[in-house]
Amino acid sequence: MPDASDVLRGAAGAVVAAVVAGVAWGAIVWQTNYEIGFAAIGVGFLVGKAMAIVTGNKRGRQLQVIAVLASVLGILVGKYMTVYFVLRDQGADIKLVDSRLMQFIKENPGSVFSLIDIVFFVIAVLYAARQLEPTTSKFQRDSS
């Protein structure tokens, strides 16, 4: 069972992994000019793995919730960067950190998130959560 320090370390590790994975996903899009939607699964995998490493393979519901939230963060970072590169390549005069980019995403969610994206996102967060699922022993200690 994770204690408070495990949860804090896990959250920090998960957020760092999520941002790094999201940026890496964006860099892949930038270099290949191709959006790889299943990279979202990699985000979930890396977040779950990072949490497991920094917590010493602790498991628990708290860690699962944090992993899911961090995975969503990483996926959103990756999608944000993807939209940025697509719009920039289409000639839009925008910066990476630009309120107009957020406005575009809010006004055009259907062009940013496809059905297959949603499928990959669900798989990603389930994968992250599964890695940290509490385990129960099939063996009981002899109390005698």
Residue at 144 is within a domain: no
Residue at 12 is within a domain: yes
Residues of the chain with pLDDT under 50: none
Number of domains within the chain: 1
49 is in which domain, residue-wise? 4-131
Residue at 69 is within a domain: yes
Which residue, 67, 57, 84, is CA-closest to 12?
A: 67
Residue at 73 is within a domain: yes
Chain-centroid distance of CA 23 in Å reads: 11
Residue 1 is predicted with a pLDDT of 80
Number of Cβ atoms within 10 Å of the Cβ of 130? 13
pLDDT digits (tens, 9 = 90+) for 92-124: 999 999 999 999 999 999 888 889 989 999 999
Residue at 65 is within a domain: yes
Residue 36 is predicted with a pLDDT of 82
Cα–Cα distance between 4 and 12 in angstroms, integer?
12
Single-letter residue type at 87: L
Buried b (16+ CB within 10 A) or exposed e, 26-52: bebbeeeeebebebbbbbbbbbbbbbb
Cα–Cα distance between 49 and 43 in angstroms, integer?
10
Q: Where are the alpha helices (DSSP H) in the chain?
A: 4-32, 39-54, 61-89, 99-107, 109-112, 115-131
- R_g of the chain, CA atoms, integer Å: 18
Residue at 140 is within a domain: no
Residue 86 is predicted with a pLDDT of 87
Residue 142 is predicted with a pLDDT of 57
Residue at 64 is within a domain: yes
Residue 139 is predicted with a pLDDT of 58
Residue at 136 is within a domain: no
